[in-house]
Amino acid sequence: MHCDPRFSRVREVFERHFADGEELGAAFAVYLDGELVVDLWDGVADRHTGRRWEHDTPAFAYSCTKAITATVLLGLAERGLVDVTAPVADVWPEFAACGKEAITVEHLLTHQCGLPVLEEPVPVEEFEDQAAIAARLAGQAPLWEPGAAHGYHALTYGFLVGEVIRRVTGKSVGELVAAEIAGPLDLELWVGAPDPVIDRAARLKAADRPQPLTTTEATPAEAPTGGGPQAPDEAQAGERPGDALAEMARAALDPQSLMNRALGNPGMHLLKGGANHPVILRAGWPAAGVVTTARSLAGFYRSLIAGDLLGRGTLRDATRIRVNGPDRVLFLDTAFGLGFMRPSLTFLMPSETAFGHSGLGGSIGLGDPERGLAVAYVMNKMANAVSGNLRGIRLVEAVYKSL
C-alpha cells in the first residue's frame, strides 16, 4: 500500500472504517496531477473463504460503468461516427417505434428519453444478449415526453447507449473498452470480465436490510424485479429535500415503484449470489457491468482529464450540466452532463468542478480537472444506497481537505 504523507488523513479515514467495522474489504486510490499518491486496500475479498483483498483484487462497481460507456460513445462522436444531437433512429431505425423518432442520442446520455424501465421481465436466458434486451426497449413507448424531464435510467441507459455503439461499430461496449481504453492504458478494468478475473473478484455482501437514512443511503442494495401495472406518476417529489427523501424511502419499499422497476429488471437477484454470479460479471452490461480495481478506475479518470481518451474540449462539453433538478425515478435532485454525474444530492462532492459516476451500494469514480484529481473507491460491503455512501464520501472529503 502507498499513501503520500500529504494525504495521511485519507489513510486515517480508510483505516478507521475497518476499525469501526464499517468495511469488509475495500480499496481507494487517488491520482494528483498524474501521480499515484494514494493506493490503499485492506480487508477480506470473500467472507466465506477468508480470501484477503490484494492489490489486484477487482470488484463489481455497478453504475460506475456509465461514465466509461459515455466515454466510448463520445470517442466515436469525436471521430464523426455518431452525432449526439441526431435522432437515435438514424443509426437504429427500429427505435423509432411508438413515437420515439425524435429521441436523440443526447436524450439517452442525459436520462431524458423516458425509458427507465423494461416493461416485461427479462428472462435469465437473455441476460447476456444485450441486443435482445435493446430490442425490447425499441418496442416500448416513453413514459414521459422525451426532453421534458429526466429520470435515472439505472439499467436501461446501458442497453440503449450500448446498442447505438453496436450499430455504429459492430462491437460491444466491453470489446471497445478492452481495445481502446483498458488495453492501451494497461488498466485492470473490464466491462464483461473473463473467467480468470471472475475467479479472483471480490464477493459482494448485500446490504442487511432497506434502511432509509440519508440522501446517500436510501434504497436497498438489491431491488426486486419490476413488472405488473405502471405505478402512479412519481414525478412530483415535493418542494423540500425532506419531502423527496420521504418519497424515495417509500418507493424503495414498494416493489412496483418506478425506482424499483428501474433498478430491478433485468433482475440480478434471480441468479444465486446476485451480482456475484458469473453471468452478471461476464455479461458486461454497459450501465452496470464494470469489474475493476480502485487503482484502475482512478487511472481511467486520470487519463480522461489528461486528454488521453477525449479531447479536452469534448470533455468540457460532456461535463457541462444538461439536466439538473428533481429526478422522476430517484425523486432527489440529480444533475447530468453527457453520461457523467455532476454534483447534486445524489453525487455529493466537495467541488463543483468534479464529475464522474457512483455505483449502487457505494462505489465512486471521479475526476476533477481543475484540481488535477482522479479518485476511485470500490468495496464489497454494500450500503443501502443507489448513489454513493458515507464511507466513500468521507474518503473523498479527506482527499480535498488534504490539498
- The residues annotated as belonging to the active site are 63
96, three cell numbers: 423509432
Q: Which residues contact 190 (CB under 8 A, 6 or more apart)?
A: 58, 174, 177, 178, 182, 197, 284, 290, 291, 292
Block residue for cell numbers 478507521: 16
Strands 290-292 and 59-60: what pairing? Answer: antiparallel
- Per-position DSSP letters for 1-36, written without gaps between them: -EE-GGGHHHHHHHHHHHHTT--SEEEEEEEETTEE
300, three cell numbers: 481511467
CA distance 127 to 266: 7
Cβ-contact 107, 136 below 8 angstroms: no
Cβ-contact 281, 193 below 8 angstroms: yes
Runs of H (alpha helix) within 79-145 = 105-109, 130-138
* Phi, psi for residue 243 in degrees, rounded to 5: -65, -45
Cα 54 from chain centre: 23
- In 293-369, beta strands by DSSP E: 323-326, 333-336, 355-358, 364-368
311, three cell numbers: 479531447
CA distance 257 to 116: 12
Cβ-contact 266, 122 below 8 angstroms: yes
Q: Which amino acid is at 287?
A: A
DSSP assignment letter at 233: P
Residue 355 forms beta bridges with which residues?
367
Q: Which residues contact 97 (CB under 8 A, 6 or more apart)?
A: 138, 139
